[in-house]
Amino acid sequence: MDLHTRERAHLSGWTSHLMRALGIRGHQHSTALQIPFALIYLPLTAWLLLTVPVAVPVLGWGGVLLVVLVSAAAWATQDRSTQPWAPAALCAADLIGLGAAVVALDAKGVMLTTLALLPCLWLAQAYLWRGAAWAVVGTFVLSATASWMDSRTQGFTDWPSPLVLPLVAAAMVSACAIITEHWEVQRYRLREEQTRLDESLTERTTTTVLLQAMLASLDSAVVAFGTDGEILLSNTPENDLYALTWAGDVGEGERLVFEEDGVTPLPFDLFPSELARRGEVVSEHLMWFGRPGEGQRAVLATSRPMLDAEQHSHGVMVVYHDVTAVVSAMRVKDEFVATVSHELRTPLTSIMGYLELIRGDHEDQTSLLPDETLSYLGVVDRNAEHLLALVSDLLTTAQTTAGTVQISRTQVALGRLVARSVESTTPRFAAAGVGLEHVAQASPAVHVDARRISQVLDNLLSNALKYTPRGGTVTVSTLVEARACAIVVSDSGIGMSGTDLDHVFEKFHRAQSATSRQIPGIGLGLAITKSIVDAHGGTITMTSTLGEGTTVTVWLPRAEVADEHAHGAAAAAAEHLA
């Protein structure tokens, strides 16, 4: 029998049959040990009492009766006997019965002494080393009694013989005590481990129930993937959204998942679930589920890895938020802003036109208005220009949000655009007492909308001037690389905190350092700037240190790179149409 067979968790067939035949329960060790002893002792002792001369028959049969009674009591009470002294009482009764038979049989009783090893093992198993000591003492008394009875008839000739049985008993009970103690320790450890497992299972069950309840109560769709890419769990909203992505029955037909514009199909390998399965992080990915014009749902997807305390990954969780109502509200707001801005722009332009006519008449000396009135008209003109600039910013913001910004690209020298913007803003810097430095470098060609990029430069320079105190310096430079070039605007102004820096390109966001100093503005300039740069396929980044200054870097593709992208897009469109 190999090690794995010996460590099996079930009883062998022989043991099971024998215990069923004797009516022994598996957890009753007293009965399991008493019955074998009785089955050997009773027939053997009765046979000796009936076949050999007996010195004291009453004593011998009394021992037999005692063993019969304690065996019957052990078998009858095996389901109820829980007293700690019960094993000791049974062992003592067996040894007394055995001793009575030995005395009654005189010299013939010596052969029964070896049966004392069974109660001895029982004592060692029940009481460990204390029981082992009792067992050795009991066997010594029994062996000495048998030797004394034998010496009465044959004389005392072999003095070591009374020690043989106690020594054998000592060896056996010591081994039994060691094995039993080791087994008890293992059983205690197993109980502790079982307790921990039960507690862990209870905690896990509770956690699972709570997780399922939380998932069921969420309006957002949640799906978790294991490290092998298989779905571990999902909730009802996820299943509902998943059903929207199929043109026919679920699992059949094309997938109705579209990009942010709601009409461009999103490639399957760019689905948030597929990106997450590949280990890529998805952050606020906006897309549309469902057929365009037929109840489409706007969905914002975000993924997070599932890490344990040791930062080991157990998969990834993707959360889908239905933001249809939010997107619809944003569209209504943007449409309202665009409409209001457009409606305000027309009368403001008319007002400014008539103001220009009035001031023109004054310059031609045909106006009869006094100088004080003309100065009032100047104030009106300046504020009208300010309002027109705000309206233009609002209109541009609405257009960029709706994706309707018109970009008319031409090939221009970037250095020339920068120089023009610096030249046009130099008087304002001089009036504010802020230095403006232009570091002229190579002037690569860029394929951009010159008016829009000039607007980007004007916004950046205006911000730098606004947030740089008198005596400060603003530096404008360009960088050139193989496939891109950059405009860098650095200032020595008030800077901003890391928290503000995270939201600097959001619409209507104002830095704490700006509001605390009551610097005017509505927080649209950088949002517009970023949207224009994005529309050109470029990037804009900002670094800032509170109290030290800010640096803004705008990267734009060079003309040849922009042409490559344009040709590639045209080829892809032609292939799609074909």
| Contact between residue 287 and residue 275 where contact means Cβ atoms under 8 Å apart | no
Judge residue 390's burial from the number of C-beta atoms within 10 Å of its C-beta, 0-12 exposed, 13-18 middle, 19 or more buried. Answer: middle
Specify whether 300 is located in the same domain as 361.
no
Same domain flag for 58 and 183: yes
Residue 577 lies in a domain: no
Of 300, 322, 344, the position where a domain reaches its end is 322
Whether residue 456 has pLDDT greater than 60:
yes
Q: State the greatest distance between any 2 C-alpha atoms of the chain, in Å, as a whole number.
A: 165
* Percentage of the residues of the chain whose pLDDT score is greater than 90: 4
**The dihedral of CA 186, 187, 188, 193: what is its sign?**
positive
Same domain as 128, residue 38: yes
Which of 322, 353, 375 lies at the terminal end of a domain, its last residue? 322
Q: Which range is most confident: 257-261, 318-322, 549-553, 560-564?
A: 549-553
Q: Is residue 263 part of a domain?
A: yes
Does residue 279 form part of some domain?
A: yes
* 125 and 231 assigned to the same domain: no
In a domain, residue 301? The reply is yes
Mean pLDDT across the chain: 75
Q: What is the pLDDT of residue 126?
A: 75
Q: How confident is the model at residue 490 (pLDDT cuts 50, 70, 90)?
A: very high
Q: Are residues 124 and 152 in the same domain?
A: yes
- For residues 87 and 181, state if they share a domain: yes
Residue 170: inside a domain: yes
Could you read off the pLDDT of 379-410 as tens digits, one per residue? 777 777 767 767 776 666 666 666 656 778 88
| pLDDT tens digits for range 182-223 | 888 888 888 899 999 999 888 888 888 887 788 777 778 888
The domain of 541 spans: 410-565
Same-domain status, 475 and 509: yes
Indicate if 427 and 308 belong to the same structural domain: no
Q: pLDDT tens digits for 98-142?
A: 777 777 776 666 677 777 777 887 777 777 788 778 877 877 777
What pLDDT, on a 0 to 100 scale, did the predictor assign at position 528? Answer: 80
Residue-wise pLDDT for 24-78, tens only, equals: 454 445 556 677 777 777 787 788 777 777 767 777 787 777 777 777 666 666 5
Question: How many domains does the chain contain in total?
Answer: 4
pLDDT of the residue at 262: 82
Q: What is the mean predicted confidence (pLDDT) over 424-428?
A: 87
Looking up residue 264, the CATH number of its domain turns out to be 3.30.450.20
Q: Are residues 78 and 224 in the same domain?
A: no
pLDDT in tens, 164-180: 777 787 888 888 788 87
Q: Are residues 86 and 153 in the same domain?
A: yes
Judgement on whether residues 393 and 419 belong to the same structural domain of the protein? no
pLDDT computed for residue 155 by the predictor: 53
DSSP states along 256-303: -EE-TTSSSBPPGGGSHHHHHHTT----SEEEEES-TTSS-EEEEEEE
Judge if pTM exceeds 0.85: no
Shared domain for 191 and 163, answered yes or no, is: yes
